[in-house]
Structure 1
Amino acid sequence: MTQSDPASPEAPPRAVDVCIIGAGPVGATLATVLATHGVTAAVVDSAPLPPMELPDFDGRAYAIALTSRNLLEAAGVWPLLPWAPGPIERIRCADGRPGESASRMALHFDAAETGEGPFGWMVEARALRMALNARMAALAHLTVLAPARAEVSRGPAGVEIRLSTGQRLRARLVVAAEGRRSPLRRQAGIGAASFDYHQTGIVGAIAHERPHGGTALEQFLPNGPFAQLPLAPTPDHPNASAIVWSEKRHLAERFLALPDAAYGHEIQRRMGDHLGRVTPIGRRWSYPLTAMQAARYADTRLALVGDAAHGIHPIAGQGLNLGFRDVAALAEMVIEAVRLGGDPGAPGLLARYQAARRPDAMLMLGATHALERLFGNGLPPLRLARRLGLAAVERMPPLKRFFARGAMGFGPVTGALMLGSGVAPALPRPDG
């Protein structure tokens, strides 16, 4: 990684193939994949990166699907995780109501039945940040500029980026990875359709008396799903899990304000007693639950990735993995273009990227929306239909395998980076 000193306005701009605006998990992963495979890249973020490496456990964690792990391996990030992540070996899906035992007509998935390895891994947010920062620091083809604000000018011939530090960049492609309120998306005049679920997502962690055995729970409740996700043991918390809890907004505000004992009681009412008594640990995080889909994923020398392009309900835990699928598709196209001496920001390449990613994201958005509508209510006829449906799928091995592979991130079009086969070794750059 190169961290340049501020340049005078007269200094020539630094030339890179790709400039990524936003150094969150999606933007930073794209930067590391590209630079690992010989593409010159710069990543710009308005916040300094080291403070993102929180020194203490804070309760946030990502569910990283098997295919997403393959991508992080290809980026050289996965081996740099500072401690082992928690594998998800089994998943149990059940319908219920707070304070009641879950229906016995449940759906169970076991990774051993697929022969592919774990469904995924639970990775603490700070661990992924530390690994990304370490990898970016080691890459000669990557320039990291943070904190810095970017002013971007795009045209058919290329992209000019002026930074608040006085530095200038010239790129052939700029990537918007700044999140749902992406300034670059708005600057390009790309509209976005959104849907408000009138729910709040509550994220955090719990300690519990009994070991989870690598099992994740998805509990479908009338006000929204509740997920318990297995974390790796630590000296302080040998039995711990992350939670993702969807709740009506007015109730979520009340629950978030409760003292730990009462808050833990509400968690236990939704999760059940299979892990014994639960105790909240770390911080409590919350955010409004909305769905979003950008009308286009590309414009002149611009590509949208991650939350700048789409947002889905967390009912399937696939939000970040969907962003990683954007990264893999775009990275493979850009790496190929640069190796062949082509233009990574060419209209044809961006059209292929949009054709590859927008239908997949729309399908995932539609599927998660349908699941939330089907499972997020307490009407008796629908509750019975849900339970019968889960029991039916449980007895249909081919359909179970299809859903299991979907949880691992496999889809109709899964590229080499996410399959773990990587891409061909980088060719020498003409400029050496």
Structure 2
Amino acid sequence: MTKIAIIGGGMVGLSQAIALADAGIEVTVIDREDPKTILNTKFDGRTSAIAWKSYKFLDKIGAWAEMARHGQPINDIRVSDNKSPLFVHFDHSDVGDDPFGYIIENRHIRAALYKRAKQLKSLKLLAPAEITNLDLENSAISLKSGDIIKYQLLIGADGKNSFVRKTAGISEFRKSYGQMGIVCTIEHELPHNGLAHEKFLPAGPFAVLPMQGNRSSLVWTEPSELAPIYMQMADTEFLAEIEKRCGYLGKLKLVEGRWCYPLELMHSDKYIKDNMLLIGDAAHSIHPIAGQGVNLGFRDAELLTDMITENMKLGLGAASGKMLEGYENIRKLDNRMMIFATDTLNRLFSNSILPIKLARSWGLGIVNEIPPLKRFFMRQASGKT
């Protein structure tokens, strides 16, 4: 019997496994993807903004050094509202020496986590593996290979459409934003200087996130009915549209391709059931407007690791009811606050009603002129709370 079984070996699931195994706890991770794919994946346009608090966690579990080689520090953040002359500029040096965070390609994050996982004797990775039955009542996972994994605690880290959550009969709240996120990477003539720029346009946010070299990752929000038009454009037309929105970077070139996905809010009604709990996107999936999705998952993993290790020191095991309830209460509150913030921001800034536009511009100007308020928002962005 393994102490803890984790279904899902993505960024959050694997970081959770590493954190627990690093503390000497026996963990088994089950994932359907072949590790060879993780190590040999070509660039697919996906990047993550790793906040200060998250990279401190990743460093603590021994996974950061490998990732850092591929990371671009975010030194400044600029928030602007379409054509308004008012904006907010956040400088990392106003709240410390560390950058706000780093932009890293997801493939490099996953590869670094996989390499770290292979170093830990307490961590067993079963991949590729196919689950044929999940018996929550008897705490057993049956695999197509014929193996049966018994566990004390099951962690579901298998994404927004979680098989674990569905099997447990846990319902969830979903809200479609009627928007699509267009993701691509550009090379540009002028340097970005580590500046992340979030520009709020009538259709939704347009984020330019700095990557290593003269490259930036774009997260471009458009209404669901318009996004396919941009996706079908020739590269020259598509780049012309980008230049209208971020011409300050000089001549642009599209790297690889472009991707598009629907934007949706999902929040699980419960995070726990008996000796099972949910983390990451299996529990909550938010609008990308603040770039905090994976960071919430890392916060889940860090708290859960602390609670489990403390519980086991006290001889209470890995799945005591009070511990699981404590995890749910703490993480639900934090996640609800972020869900409310991102949902409100999206509604507020994806809006062309004149009074709201004026209020937005006024608000940006006020924040820029009040240092304590500015520092508060900077600490929120980096996770230094």
TM-score tier (shorter): over 0.9
- Distance in 2, Cα, partners of 1:258 & 1:57: 21
1:30·1:331 contact (CA, 8 Å) conserved in 2?
A: yes
Please, which of 95, 117, 133 is the counterpart of residue 136 of structure 1? Answer: 117
1:162·1:169 contact (CA, 8 Å) conserved in 2?
A: yes
1:280 maps onto 2:254 in alignment? yes
- Distance in 2, Cα, partners of 1:36 & 1:370: 38
1:352 maps onto 2:326 in alignment? yes
1:82·1:130 contact (CA, 8 Å) conserved in 2?
A: no
1:72·1:78 contact (CA, 8 Å) conserved in 2?
A: yes
2:70·2:108 contact (CA, 8 Å) conserved in 1?
A: no
Question: One-letter code of the match for 1:361?
Answer: N
Question: One-letter code of the match for 1:141?
Answer: S
- Distance in 2, Cα, partners of 1:116 & 1:310: 31
1:82·1:131 contact (CA, 8 Å) conserved in 2?
A: no
Please, which of 5, 9, 18 is the counterpart of residue 23 of structure 1? Answer: 9
Residue 134 of structure 2: aligned partner:
152
Unmatched 5+ stretches in structure 1: 1-14, 97-101, 234-238, 412-432
1:202·1:246 contact (CA, 8 Å) conserved in 2?
A: yes
Residue 241 of structure 1: aligned partner:
216
- Distance in 2, Cα, partners of 1:134 & 1:311: 27
Question: One-letter code of the match for 1:242?
Answer: S
- Distance in 2, Cα, partners of 1:401 & 1:171: 45
1:54-90 residue CA offsets vs partner (Å, 9 max, x unmatched): 4543332110000000111112111122733100000
Deviates more, 1:280-289 or 1:52-61: 52-61
Q: Secondary structure at the match of 2:311?
A: helix
Alignment of 1:91-106 (within 5 A): 91-96=77-82, 102-106=83-87
Alignment of 1:11-410 (within 5 A): 15-81=1-67, 83-96=69-82, 102-150=83-131, 151-155=133-137, 159-233=139-213, 239-271=214-246, 273-410=247-384
- Distance in 1, Cα, partners of 2:173 & 2:35: 31
1:364-393 residue CA offsets vs partner (Å, 9 max, x unmatched): 001100000100011222111111110011
TM-score, L = length of structure 2: 0.97
Q: Secondary structure at the match of 2:204?
A: coil
Shift of 1:116: 4.7
Residue 430 of structure 1: aligned partner:
none
- Distance in 1, Cα, partners of 2:243 & 2:308: 47
- Distance in 2, Cα, partners of 1:173 & 1:370: 35
- Distance in 2, Cα, partners of 1:180 & 1:189: 15
Q: Secondary structure at the match of 1:225?
A: strand
- Distance in 1, Cα, partners of 2:81 & 2:151: 51
2:171·2:269 contact (CA, 8 Å) conserved in 1?
A: yes
Residue 5 of structure 1: aligned partner:
none
- Distance in 1, Cα, partners of 2:36 & 2:159: 20
- Distance in 2, Cα, partners of 1:337 & 1:164: 33
Question: One-letter code of the match for 1:321?
Answer: N
2:180·2:262 contact (CA, 8 Å) conserved in 1?
A: yes
1:333·1:349 contact (CA, 8 Å) conserved in 2?
A: yes
TM-score, L = length of structure 1: 0.87
Shift of 1:187: 1.4
Q: Secondary structure at the match of 2:80?
A: strand
**Percent identity of equivalent pairs:** 40
- Distance in 2, Cα, partners of 1:330 & 1:319: 17
Question: One-letter code of the match for 1:211?
Answer: P
Pairwise CA RMSD? 1.3
- Distance in 2, Cα, partners of 1:293 & 1:68: 21
1:291·1:311 contact (CA, 8 Å) conserved in 2?
A: yes
Question: One-letter code of the match for 1:138?
Answer: Q
- Distance in 1, Cα, partners of 2:377 & 2:306: 26
- Distance in 2, Cα, partners of 1:62 & 1:87: 12
Q: Secondary structure at the match of 1:286?
A: strand
- Distance in 2, Cα, partners of 1:82 & 1:398: 31
Question: One-letter code of the match for 1:241?
Answer: S
- Distance in 1, Cα, partners of 2:313 & 2:248: 53
2:136·2:168 contact (CA, 8 Å) conserved in 1?
A: no
May I ask how many residue pairs the two structures share in their alignment? 384
1:204·1:281 contact (CA, 8 Å) conserved in 2?
A: yes
- Distance in 1, Cα, partners of 2:48 & 2:59: 16
